[in-house]
Amino acid sequence: MQSLRHTHDVVVVGARAAGAATALLLARQGYDVVLVDRNVFPSDALSTHQLARPGVVQLRRWGLLDAVLSSGAPALRQITFTTPDESVTRTVKHGAGVDLLVAPRRYVLDTLVAEAAARAGADVRFGVTVDGVHLDDAGRAVGVYGHDGHGASVDIAARFVVGADGLGSRVARAVGAEVVEDRGARGAAQYAYFAGLPWPGIELIVADRALTGVFPTHHGEACVWICSPGEDARAARRGAASREDAFTAYLQRTAPELAARLRRARRTSPVTGMLRTPNYLRRAHGPGWALVGDAGYHRDAVTGHGLSDAYRDAELLATALHQARRGEVDPDTALAGYQRRRDHALRRVFELTVALAGYPPAAEFVELQKTLSRALDAEATELAARPPLMTDNEQQLATA
């Protein structure tokens, strides 16, 4: 194909957590960045959407946490952890600059971050479906093509293509990004929203072969979810008249006290989720392209770390691209460094996720949860200590 003119610095495909955050950080550094998504926001996404401490730290560092709380997402300062032996309620301790957790609905959170990217100067285009990636004669990504909601063709040329288009990433398929580590898809996650009860905080309930939880969110509702082996979830579905009946029966087994309380509540949504949640890493970079978020790395929902992963890796990628633009390293070296840092950063929680998704006996599961809590605190501390990303002018002023 003929070479395309590099009209933009970066095109980011997918405006959810990873994509919107990447576009935001690049735009704040002066990049000419286009952010596209096939959906028109506000739009919801499949997600239980509680942010672990590392994700909350990132929102605070980027100046977005206050906006999330102002949207009506409750500040969550209490966690009740119930095992077969005991139930313990603790206050969320202050650490890494935050003393709360939060579980905003994705149609609110993703819109807030995408709007922040637009305010920073990103060209945000909703209703654009990307069908493929333009490659030059050397195999380097130089743009994307697709169509808008009216069927009109869309062609965007860019020096870098970022795939943030989720689990079924078209960008990943177009550039041939292979899976480099596959740890199976043994787990399932199902959830629904309930209203009509007080929700004092986060609840986590350990049972044999299940973790059940409650995440209070917008509009006085709570996301009530069950993570379990996929084979158990599929068996429950086969033995019930509907998803809702299967979910109710499953709750009665995994969290009977919660199930009793929910009889006084009102379910406000269908039951949804995934009955197979894969755990894999894709190659995250190549000539002129990079993957971020679920497009490059997916893990079971049992650790609730997806949003935190997305925000962490968005900053790693934005930092790498900025190094390339400043001439500190060549682009291919910068992107290889991004993947290396991503793979190192995700490793500890990824291994814990895979272990938890195997649903060992309850005592072992509880110990893994405690190890996870320490790992999240360490990750949050490391993120909080990072210097903020700065534009070239800010960097010059800081070093003057």
CATH code, 267 = 3.30.9.40
**Helix axes of 106-119 and 17-28: crossing angle, nearest 10 degrees:** 20
**Helix axes of 17-28 and 306-325: crossing angle, nearest 10 degrees:** 30
pLDDT band at 7 (very low <50, low <70, confident <90, very high): confident
Q: Residue type for 25, please?
A: L
Q: What is the residue whose two structure tokens read 């060992």?
A: 360
Are 376 and 232 in the same domain?
no
Tell me, yes or no, whether 245 lies in a domain. yes
Mean local confidence (pLDDT), 78-105: 97
Domain boundary among 250, 276, 302: 276
Question: Which contiguous run of DSSP H or E holds residue 254?
Answer: helix 243-254
Tell me, yes or no, whether 311 lies in a domain. yes
Domain CATH code at residue 376? 3.50.50.60
Closest CA to 133 of 178, 175, 179: 175
DSSP, collapsed to helix, strand or coil, labels residue 27 as: helix
Mean local confidence (pLDDT), 152-168: 96
Average pLDDT value over all residues in the chain:
95
Mean local confidence (pLDDT), 286-307: 97
List pLDDT tens digits, range 358-379: 999 999 999 999 999 999 999 9
Tell me, yes or no, whether 272 lies in a domain. yes
**Contact (Cβ atoms closer than 8 angstroms) between residue 177 and residue 29:** no
**Contact (Cβ atoms closer than 8 angstroms) between residue 93 and residue 79:** no
Tell me, yes or no, whether 153 lies in a domain. yes
**Contact (Cβ atoms closer than 8 angstroms) between residue 308 and residue 299:** no
Closest CA to 188 of 143, 243, 147, 260: 243
The predicted pLDDT at position 389 comes to 75
Q: Residue type for 366, please?
A: V
Say if residue 1's pLDDT is above 80.
Answer: no
Q: How far apart are CA 338 and CA 160, in angstroms?
A: 14
Q: What is the residue whose two structure tokens read 């509907």?
A: 242
Q: How far apart are CA 72 and CA 105, in angstroms?
A: 10
List pLDDT tens digits, range 121-153: 999 999 999 999 999 999 999 999 999 999 999
Residue ranges making up the domain that contains 217: 187-276
Tell me, yes or no, whether 1 lies in a domain. no
The predicted pLDDT at position 297 comes to 97
Preceding peptide of 256 cis, ω within 30°: no
Are 210 and 313 in the same domain?
no
Q: How far apart are CA 143 and CA 160, in angstroms?
A: 7
In the chain, pLDDT over 70 holds for what percent of residues? 96
Percent of residues in the chain assigned helix, strand, coil, to nearest 5: 40, 30, 30
Mean local confidence (pLDDT), 66-88: 97
Q: How far apart are CA 24 and CA 116, in angstroms?
A: 6
For 154, the token pair is 């869309």
List pLDDT tens digits, range 211-244: 999 999 999 999 999 999 999 999 999 989 999 9
Question: Which contiguous run of DSSP H or E holds residue 371?
Answer: helix 362-384
**Contact (Cβ atoms closer than 8 angstroms) between residue 306 and residue 47:** yes
Are 145 and 257 in the same domain?
no
pLDDT band at 163 (very low <50, low <70, confident <90, very high): very high
List pLDDT tens digits, range 315-353: 999 999 999 988 899 999 999 999 999 999 999 999 999
Are 209 and 351 in the same domain?
no
User: How many domains does the structure of the chain reveal?
Assistant: 2
The predicted pLDDT at position 325 comes to 87
Domain boundary among 276, 299, 320: 276
Q: How much is the pTM?
A: 0.95
The predicted pLDDT at position 391 comes to 62
Are 294 and 365 in the same domain?
yes
The predicted pLDDT at position 390 comes to 63
Q: How far apart are CA 230 and CA 236, in angstroms?
A: 10
The predicted pLDDT at position 37 comes to 98
| Planar angle of CA 44, 47, 49, nearest 5 degrees | 100
pLDDT band at 392 (very low <50, low <70, confident <90, very high): low
In the chain, pLDDT over 90 holds for what percent of residues? 94
* DSSP annotation string for 216-239: E-GGG-EEEEEEEEHHHHHHHHHT
Mean local confidence (pLDDT), 33-42: 98
For 180, the token pair is 């480099």
